Amino acid sequence: MKKKLNGLYYPTKDFQKQANLNNKKIYKEAQKDPVVFWNELAKKEIFWQEPFTETFSVTSPSTSSGPEIKWFSGGKLNLCENVLDKNVEKNPNKIALIWEPENPDEQTKKYTYEELLSEVNKFANALKNLGVKKGDTVGIYLPIIPEIVIAMLACTRIGAVHLVVFSAFSPEALKIRLQTIKTKYLITADGYFRRGKIINLKQNADLGIEGTDVEKVIVVKRAGNDILWNNTRDFWFNELTNNESNICAPEKMNSEDLLFVLPESGTTGQFLPIMHTTAGYTLQAKITGKWVFDYKDSDVFWSTADPGWITGHTYSIYSPLLNGITTVLFEGAPDYPTPDRWAKIIEKNKITILYTAPTAIRMFKQYGAESFKNCDISSLRILGSVGEIIDEPTWLWYHKEIGKNKLPIVDTYWQTETGAIIITSLPGIGPNKPASAGLALPGVNMEIFDDNGRPCKNGVEGNLVMLSPYCPAIVRGIFACPPNERDAQEKYKNVYWNLYGKDIYVTSDRAIKDKHNIIKITGRADDVIKIAGRRITTSELESAVNNHLQISESAVIGVPDEIKGFIPLVFATYRGTKNKDEIIKEIELEIRKSMGPIATPKKIYLVNELPKTRSGKIMRTLLKKLYFNEKDLGDTSTLSNPETIEAIKKILE
């Protein structure tokens, strides 16, 4: 990109010329009537088994539930058919998937579109034979191996709803997810490699399914480690698929049939199993790839996210494959066995588009540009960022060292709830601004509202909202099995549709718009902290701390961290006599056990008492101010225990 005097970056002429979108007129066209705009795209981009009859509708069934949003009603389609059959028709021998194992000496695996279709069909037939029917839910607890793609696509082919559980999640986290969807089926692996060590995933799965409805467990052989085997319940993946036919007709799905569920956490630690439906998700996943990453037939796209997260769902798998290009999956950690591992993967596979998270970019920035110097990464033509704010120094480093001052950077803003990208300046149009996500995509109407629900003036921070008709992949609800559906509907309404009335979608992010309509995300409006791009609420962390038998109360704040963006800091009340260092170690263990090592706190402080208001609310903002040694502590007159200020200051010294 080229920097102009106004501090904004614009595409080079050459890039612009070849870009899929290179004329800003599209914004105006879309704005005239977003529904018509999406209607035309849906007709063009999706293979419909039966055409849809109504493009968009929204109704409010009751005062205690959120809106019922429908896109492309009346239509029938199958996501997997759009991904595989349609691309096999075009070019069966095109590479769909490249898989890089963690161990660089192990063989890379490649699947053409035809081979992938064949594998997916075999597994789809195997699932049917095990009893999986259209509408059933299936749990997927797999590491980054090709079978995770095969399993997800096989589910969508037969109309089963997948719920992918991140493989590093604990047995307890797996259990809650399986219980939520009451699934009878789980797909897992014997184990996987992480930094050269074997992780026994099957053992976690065995623990996680206790007390759930799971009756059948399908196990992919990956690491060859010893596992416990239950003859009536467990099945080897390859034994199931070996003799299956590679033909399986794609189910006819309604546009609004549930496609997948993916839980995230929201305000005050709420567990939110996000629901996505078939047509809207398919369209937005496909079109955003074309627009934002400028997909061309020759592209090799690498989204470094784990398929267990929404970025992995949409951009490691569905978006590139819907567009018939090659996608790359890498099993391992970014800097294993050496810090140049990513550069080597880019060089080896001639990757053209790299989509990653600021936390990884910051890590490489700390290693220094040397970690990329000895490899030829000149195949790259677009860089992407996602998941959290990319600060300006990191953006500039990414632009200079990886992008050679030339490549466009798309800073893409979206959420698990929006299913696909909604804000980013397009690489062939611009303008791009460091540390600002950019313009709302054509057809998406984003606003920034003040506390009274009025649009903020340019330059004034407020709450980021999305206005009707939202976006095709917008979250349709919070999943729950009977008898909990009412609660879930209420949650859906309260989390997303309550702050400004029932027709305004609330993102829970704070943002500012500049005079060019460029949106800069400034932080979360709720208690979510983004640790290495992962959504964790302070309340979830606090309950993990409070699991410790001797801790009755705690407060967690997020403080900036050079690599992870934010990192938790824990204040826990402890008045016992045990060795404090031991207690601190135990608390850390509790956190790692329930939230994973990623949430390991920067520091744990044991205090006598936490600062509270007279109504008993813990004052986390005050703790933050004390930690940063701010002079102005704000209004402390409502404190019921002002003496805690001095006590905590002492501990922090």
Q: Check if the beta carbon of residue 121 is closer than 8 Å to that of residue 247.
A: yes
- 582: tokens are 């031991």
Judged by CB under 6 A, which stretch of 86-94, 238-246, 373-381, 408-416 contacts ligand WT7? 408-416
Rounded CA-CA distance 206/216 in Å is 11
Compare residues 82 and 288 and give the one whose CB is closer to ligand WT7: 288
Judged by CB under 6 A, which stretch of 74-82, 344-352, 414-422, 602-610 contacts ligand WT7? 414-422
Token look-up 């970014």 returns: 334
Handedness of CA 358, 363, 367, 371 (dihedral sign): negative
- 207: tokens are 């623990």
Ranges within 455-474 binding ligand WT7 (CB under 6 A)? none
Binding string, residues 348-387; x marks residues near ligand WT7 by CB under 6 A: --------------------------------------xx
Rounded CA-CA distance 180/4 in Å is 51
Compare residues 186 and 305 and give the one whose CB is closer to ligand WT7: 305
Compare residues 329 and 343 and give the one whose CB is closer to ligand WT7: 329
Ranges within 631-650 binding ligand WT7 (CB under 6 A)? none
| Closest distance to ligand WT7 from the beta carbon of 385 (Å) | 6
Judged by CB under 6 A, which stretch of 100-108, 236-244, 396-404, 409-417 contacts ligand WT7? 409-417
Q: How many CB atoms lie within 10 A of CB 181?
A: 22
The reply on whether position 411 binds ligand WT7 by CB under 6 A is yes
- 76: tokens are 């029938």
Ranges within 128-187 binding ligand WT7 (CB under 6 A)? none
Ranges within 253-312 binding ligand WT7 (CB under 6 A)? 264, 310-311
Distances from the Cα of 127 to the Cα of 106, 133, 184, angstroms: 29, 8, 12
Note the residue count of the chain.
Answer: 653
Residue nearest to ligand WT7 (CB): 416
Q: How many CB atoms lie within 10 A of CB 632?
A: 6
Rounded CA-CA distance 124/159 in Å is 10
Number of residues that bind ligand WT7 (CB under 6 A): 20
| Closest distance to ligand WT7 from the beta carbon of 353 (Å) | 16
Instruction: Residue 295: name the closest of 329, 330, 326 by CA.
Output: 326
Rounded CA-CA distance 214/185 in Å is 5
Compare residues 495 and 626 and give the one whose CB is closer to ligand WT7: 495
Compare residues 113 and 449 and give the one whose CB is closer to ligand WT7: 449
Binding string, residues 417-446; x marks residues near ligand WT7 by CB under 6 A: --------------------x---------
Backbone conformation region of residue 311, classed left if phi is above 0, alpha if psi is from -120 to 50, else beta? alpha
Rounded CA-CA distance 322/45 in Å is 9
Which residues lie closer than 8 Å to 241 by C-beta, 6 or more apart? 119, 122, 123, 125, 126
Burial (0-12, 13-18, 19+ Cβ within 10 Å), 28: exposed
Out of 389, 488, 567, 619, which residue is the one contacting ligand WT7 (CB under 6 A)?
A: 389
Compare residues 343 and 519 and give the one whose CB is closer to ligand WT7: 519
Compare residues 337 and 523 and give the one whose CB is closer to ligand WT7: 523
Compare residues 52 and 413 and give the one whose CB is closer to ligand WT7: 413
Ranges within 519-548 binding ligand WT7 (CB under 6 A)? 521, 524, 530, 535
- Beta partners for residue 254, in sequence order: 76
Q: Check if the beta carbon of residue 441 is closer than 8 Å to that of residue 421.
A: yes
| Closest distance to ligand WT7 from the beta carbon of 414 (Å) | 4
Q: Check if the beta carbon of residue 308 is closer than 8 Å to that of residue 165.
A: yes
The reply on whether position 341 binds ligand WT7 by CB under 6 A is no
Out of 206, 251, 388, 401, which residue is the one contacting ligand WT7 (CB under 6 A)?
A: 388
Judged by CB under 6 A, which stretch of 246-254, 407-415, 537-545, 627-635 contacts ligand WT7? 407-415
Out of 180, 326, 356, 412, which residue is the one contacting ligand WT7 (CB under 6 A)?
A: 412
| Closest distance to ligand WT7 from the beta carbon of 528 (Å) | 7
State the DSSP code for 221: -
Distances from the Cα of 527 to the Cα of 148, 180, 578, angstroms: 32, 23, 32
Which residues lie closer than 8 Å to 635 by C-beta, 6 or more apart? none
Compare residues 386 and 440 and give the one whose CB is closer to ligand WT7: 386
Which residues bind to ligand WT7, rule: CB under 6 A? Answer: 264, 310-311, 386-389, 411-416, 437, 507, 509, 521, 524, 530, 535
